[in-house]
Amino acid sequence: MYRFLLLFSLFTLFVASSCEPDPPLPCEGCPVDPEDRVITGPSTPTPFTLEVPDHMPRPIVDETNPLTVEGIALGRRLFYDKIMGRDSAFACADCHLQEKAFTDGRALAVGVGGQPGTRSAMSIVNLAFNPTAFNWDGGQLKIWEQAIHPVENMLEMDEDWERVLVRLRRSEDYPQRFRAAFGVGRTGEITREMAVKAIAQFEHTIVSADSHFDRVVYLNSEFFTEEEQFGADSLFFIENVPIGADHPGCGHCHNAPSFGDNLFKNNGIEDVASLDDFPDKGFGVVSGSRSDNGKFRSTTLRNIALTGPYMHDGRFATLEEVLDHYASGGHAVENKDPNITGFTLTEEKKAALLAFLNSLTDESLLTDERYSNPFE
């Protein structure tokens, strides 16, 4: 008995230490987790309904991944846990930082190997309202399917899912958490699909709808400054703007309350001779249609002051540069969206548009404990 206890405590010591080298990959045909232990504890997840402010659209329900209290809690841990990356040294949260509205402040994301990737990390707020698809190019139809790829991507977390699963199954507390969220009875039943579904449940709950803009327009508890009002009514939104007017027209694609219609468009940032020359073909690769080359998702502008550098490749360092781009009318490529027309941008208009864009920052998101690192 004593010897068993000693062995057991050595085992827990081993699994508790995150600095241990990676466990080897299981041999072909061997059970993935040689221990395949029975898991005890609660196994009935509690259904969770996502409540969002009345002025936001209704959250989209993913029938393939119903939200539960335990699933969301598990997903939050996995999102912040470096156990998910190569050498247990990189987490989703290393590129999606809460204090930057879940982006990373870099033009191009940098993964565990230190090399930059090809695109800019996206803010993962308000995914529950996106009716189209995920990533800049719409390459992922479900949030949970999206989460499979960063773990495997060489330029992101560069890890093998089998190894991640071994670590999760052998860990001290994850098996109980998987049981609580998905009802599994043995460690060997824990799957990649459960892990990414839990992460997606957590991501689904990250809602940003408490900015100065929301408080002015929907809650009537604050007022716009004159400059913000001018930026909103006369420049950003498009109500009553005659066709062909000298007007920024941002609202065509970034309308309230989402501030991004999530459709795929060419907003004229790339100077190419033909539709075949885009360095990143974006939505064209996903749809398979040449006329979609160079189109990217018009994402949300909520918290935009915090999420620079801007565009799918982080080409603009500041919002001033973004405004200069739109004012120029962009590059004339045959599939450039007709709503990108160029407009006169005086210093006064620029300041007003910036003031308005700054009103979309939601400070409460940055410290909301429901979304913060559970290990701190």
- Chain residues binding ligand HEC by CB under 6 A are 79, 84, 90, 92, 94-96, 109, 111, 117, 119-122, 124, 127, 134-137, 143, 146-147, 150-151, 156-157, 199, 203, 248-250, 252-254, 265, 267, 269, 296, 298-299, 301, 304, 307, 310-312, 322, 326, 337, 339-340
Show contacts of 318-322: CB within 8 Å, 24+ apart: 319/354, 319/357, 320/350, 320/354
For residues 289 and 281, give the distance between their C-alpha atoms in angstroms, rounded to a whole number.
10
Nearer to ligand HEC, 92 or 355 (CB): 92
Residues in CB range of 372: below 8 A, 6 or more apart: 98
Nearer to ligand HEC, 70 or 137 (CB): 137
CB of 120 to ligand HEC, least distance (A): 6
Hey, what are 323's tokens?
A: 């405004």
For residues 105 and 30, give the distance between their C-alpha atoms in angstroms, rounded to a whole number.
43
CB of 44 to ligand HEC, least distance (A): 26
Nearer to ligand HEC, 39 or 202 (CB): 202
For residues 86 and 249, give the distance between their C-alpha atoms in angstroms, rounded to a whole number.
45
For tokens 């033909």, the residue is 274
Nearer to ligand HEC, 143 or 216 (CB): 143
Cβ proximity of 208 and 222 under 8 Å: no
Nearer to ligand HEC, 39 or 265 (CB): 265
CB of 247 to ligand HEC, least distance (A): 9
Burial of residue 342 (CB within 10 Å: 0-12, 13-18, 19+) is middle
CB of 348 to ligand HEC, least distance (A): 15
Nearer to ligand HEC, 93 or 184 (CB): 93
CB of 9 to ligand HEC, least distance (A): 32
For residues 116 and 128, give the distance between their C-alpha atoms in angstroms, rounded to a whole number.
28
Nearer to ligand HEC, 143 or 190 (CB): 143
Residue-level length of the chain: 376
Q: How far is CA 57 from CA 130, 140, 182, 204, 258, in A?
A: 10, 21, 29, 14, 8
Residue 173: name the closest of 39, 48, 72 by CA.
39
CB of 213 to ligand HEC, least distance (A): 14
CB of 76 to ligand HEC, least distance (A): 11
